[in-house]
Structure 1
Amino acid sequence: MGALPILDLRRLEAGEAERNAFLAELRAAAREVGFFSLVGHGIPEARIAAVQALARRFFALPAEAKQAVAMVHSPHFRGYTAAGAEITRGKADWREQFDIGAERAALSRAPGAPAWTRLQGPNLWPPALPALRPELLAWQAAVTAVGIRLLEAFALALGQAADAFAPIYAGGPNPHIKIIRYPGREATGDDQGVGAHKDSGFLTLLAQDGEGGLEVADGAGGWIAATPVPGAFVVNVGELLELASNGYLRATIHRVVTPAAGRDRLSVAFFLGARPDATVPLLDLPAPLAAQARGPASDPDNPLFREVGRNYLKGRLRSHPDVAAAHHADLLDTEARAA
């Protein structure tokens, strides 16, 4: 396969026949590739360009302004990460990024509280770029709405009620944004922008610029280039959908290759997750789909847990060892080792 499928979300509201055809194509794209480009989502291309321009303004700030909101200052894993400081599969990723989540008050560390409760808390915001807070929070709300609409379509495509996943996200979905810049290859010894991995949530919606680099495993040892489509989101299935569908849907391995020397790549990634206190259900799939469900993938180095918060905490501790050591050293011999 030479390119990702392109799906138009407007077909969901274009009459029964078109809707059913869209759901069949959605199910096939998610099962066979795990990735697709989504158009017709309702967010204007100009707004996507504006949030990308704002991200570039952030990355153009002086190093000291970015380091003032470094993630190591946040026990909730929010803020700026310099290139080389995040780890995937034991190797450094060559990208700088800024992470935010839901803007919520921190939970008290009550005795006996689940370890994942430490992840909830406020974001860090750079005083040098005050526009970042309102714009990224507005973006978070807009893309959350698209993500939930798409998640409802996935439920229908799996033979469920549209609100099948609502019990584990309603009232407090777990949205996560990364604005990301991949510097050119002159500054790194290899081409790992971000190493091969799966995403842990329901869905990822990625707005990328015109610079390629995202690649999707094709299941046969090769890679499919996620060629940028103007105005589209690249969407991929996360591990929560893999668990809920008993492996009928698979979270697909993907990576980003560092741009050539003298170039860079910018993307805005949105991850839609369930409430951290939720447990992923096992859907009762229609018999034809259930017969094709292979069970969730088993990886001894990255086990999947149905407890959403535990899964998310596992990933954060592994990806950001400096934050883990600074704020959660007491967990490193329990949660990280158990994972």
Structure 2
Amino acid sequence: MPTSNPLPSTHDAATAPRTLPILDISKLSGSPEERAAFLEELGTTAREIGFFYLTGHGIPDELIREIVAVSRRFFELPEADKLSIEMVNSPHFRGYTRVGLEITRGQADWREQIDFSSERPAIPVAPGTPDWARLQGPNQWPDALPALKPTVLEWQRQLADLGIRVLEAFALALQQDKDVFSPIYEKAPIQHLKLIRYPGRDATGSDQGVGAHKDGGFLTLLLQDVQGGLQVEADDGSWIDAPPIPGTFIVNIGEVLEMASNGYLRATVHRVVTPPAGKDRLSVAFFFGAALDATIPLLDLAPELAAQALGPTADPQNPLFREIGQNYLKGRLRSHPDVAERHYADLLDPTAKREPASAY
């Protein structure tokens, strides 16, 4: 789809408006009846939609206000301060990305953002070191906004804890031990955080805030500010609006859970439409994933669940692998071709423009 063309309309005129369900995770600690009802609702929602609002999460309102405020302050910095930590400087894909420089399905996403991940030392590269090992390393922090680092690190800590609670609930909904996934995340989980600002339509090249895609990892916890734009694809190809609801996160399933459950859990296509002219949209997206050196297991589901597992979605444009590092590197190389060309030229196919050769 050319970037100059608008995205399709939100809904077919004949389609009634729909909303995502709202689930209260505090019920997991309630009475046996409340717990059972929550897990049943979670399993049904995860299978049929793959997206929901989450309440009862326990993340303090003060921290939520703080992460939103410090995000705003970052995007209001002079361009020179933001570009001082531009992602192209980082072989670990950390830092600031200007509007239009991240790519989804070959088209520019009209948003500016800053990416952080787990704050760990770089892995020394030696003969035999896997290519994905280069992804681990330190974040970039702006000197002009020292308050950003402690807020981001605290957000990552608390959202990782919440992500584990949600992941354990998914395991229970699949009739597994709640810790069934812990061997592949407990040592060094991916804690990928994006602070994102979408400028209004008057300041962009298209309506693609971010193009239609699925998320990798276990799950995503999304905090929205006040402006809508997120849309979730329905089975009939129409789009369900997911506007901000104060006090909630939007949770969606990633491809790791889809693959581990053989498609019983559903990673759903979604997108963000550019805000109207004169508006902008702020979101804080936290992606909780397994360790880079992990391999996705295939769970042994009970017969009644296995009978409903459709298998992972096959997409020739996005081949999936059970090796976490391989999948993650593939996505990073495709999304940020400038970083790929500067730091991963040895992995790029010289005969195919900006396509990674040995990463998938």
Question: If the TM-score is normalised by the length of the shorter chain, which range does it land in?
Answer: over 0.9
**Aligned runs of 1:54-203 on 2, under 5 Å?**
54-203=70-219
Aligned equivalents of 1:234, 1:46: Cα separation in 2 = 19
CA-CA distance at 1:46 after TM superposition: 3.1
- In structure 2, the partner of 1:241 is 257
Q: Does 1:4 align with 2:20?
A: yes
Q: Secondary structure at the match of 1:99?
A: strand
Native 8 Å contact 1:198 1:253 kept in 2: yes
Find out whether 1:204 has 2:220 as its counterpart.
yes
TM-score, length basis structure 2: 0.93
Please list, as runs of the form range in 1=range in 2, the aligned pairs for 1:10-29 lying within 5 A after superposition: 10-29=26-45
Deviation at 1:269, TM superposition (A): 0.3
**CA contact 1:280–1:308 (8 Å) conserved in 2:** yes
Output one character per residue of 1:123-148: Cα deviation in whole Å (capped at 9) or x when no partner: 00000001111110011000000000
Deviations along 1:277-318, one digit per CA (max 9) or x if unpaired, are: 000000001111100111111111101100000000000000
Please give the per-residue CA displacement for 1:206-252, whole angstroms capped at 9, x wherever unaligned.
00011000000011110000121101000000000000000111210
TM-score by length of 1: 0.98
SS of structure 1 residue aligned to 2:115: strand
Task: Tell me the equivalent position of 2:294.
Answer: 278
Q: Write the distance in 2 (CA, Å) between the matches of 1:210 and 1:30.
A: 25
CA–CA distance in structure 2, aligned partners of residues 188 and 66 of structure 1: 19
* CA root-mean-square deviation: 1.1
Residue segments in structure 2 that go unaligned for 5+ positions in a row: 1-16
2:314 to 283, 288, 298: 298
Does residue 335 of structure 2 align to residue 319 of structure 1? yes
Identity level (%):
64
Question: Is the contact made by 1:45 and 1:230 (CA closer than 8 Å) also made in structure 2?
Answer: no
Q: Is the CA contact 1:44–1:231 (under 8 Å) kept in the aligned structure 2?
A: no
Name the count of aligned residue pairs: 339
Give the distance between the partners of 1:309 and 1:171, measured in 2 at CA. Answer: 14
Amino acid at match of 1:75: P
